[in-house]
Amino acid sequence: MKLRAVTVLLIFAGLFVAHQPSHAQSDELKAAIDRAADEVEEQVIEWRRHFYQNPELSNREVETADYIAGFLDDLGLEIETEIAHTGVVGVLDTGNPGPVIGLRADMDALPVEDRADVPFASTATGEFRGEEVPVKHACGHDTHMAMLMGAAQILTDMQDELKGKIVFIFQPAEEGAPPGEDGGAELMVEEGLIENYNIDTVFGLHISSNTPVGQINYRPGGIMAASDSFEITVHGEQTHGSTPWTGVDPIVTSAQIIQGLQTIISRKTELTNEAAVISVGIIEGGVRNNIIPEETTFSGTIRTLDEDMQDKIHDEIRHTATTIAASMGAEAEVEITRGYPVTYNDHELTEQMLPTLLDVAGADNVEHINPITGAEDFSFFQQQVPGLYVFVGGLAEGYSPQDAPPHHTPEFKINEDGMKTGVRAHAYFVVDYLFGE
């Protein structure tokens, strides 16, 4: 009996090992990905230029969604549309048991004029805040869609060698839904994307206009900041500008509050833990130069990389505004709206995938970076399941990292040679997550 049990165990172990891809098998899959990435690169560029010339604003990505859905349908994938208004999801079911991996690309463009010197410049227009505006892919979302389409084609062609499911997520409204609307990753989560597809982990990437082509930047933990907004209304007492002592000046009070907000960062925030920023972007008040108004309103943004610091800074803003206002005989109402959470790379997943990044770009082209105070709604996915978000180099020819046109500007441009790195990264993430040891 004992000998038979041992024999059965050995047979079972042999079958188990036989079905586990070795490093050699994983390397073969990556070699196949590299060959396929070379072959699909021209098509990826063509897709990117189509999106660039046909940009659509947040929650208005109707033609973009149709184009993507048609492509995924041609691949034979299971498709769902109209998720979070215009989102598209394609599912590659390999038929073999295994985890479910999400790969995400954002779809929306910005109300920005296109002044990049490219032969396929955008002349599109759209409506934003009730006005006709020029529209441009000024943050690289066109490249994100094209790179994920390239990875989808490669992974579909090799599905017999894979296991589990890959969920290709094309997400609208990353730049924020129009006023009065909901959208983006948050709405996708609310509509059950993660639960409906049983997604175990999610990967995302962003092209970077000031990062050399072929380079990948990463960071465990908080890589991009939470983005919250605030609005403070200061109530004073209106009077003639020649006799300020007969009223309460909300403009001077607001100025003092704004100065006080900056001391929250410089004197009350432990910046050795994480970076934080408070910026005022709008001040409104008054109708004549000789009237001290009854009230003023100013608003701005709060950027944090730690949830405890985020809560503390919110409390400090309320305390600072109300007490300074009271000291000057005024009243302050503070409204703080939470926006995107911290884009937080799961430490264990990041460590697991670091060899993947090295395989994609080479040891000399993988950079551990400081956190970025910009924000990304990919963070809503990462609140549900472990996720990893990285930056891929797209520095245009003729520029240095220091003088490259920034994202969200009319001159923004990308070197299309950088997209192949993104295609390979998506596909490598899948292989190494499925078969990594």
Q: Which residues belong to the active site?
A: 340, 416
- Map tokens 């950088």 to a residue: 418
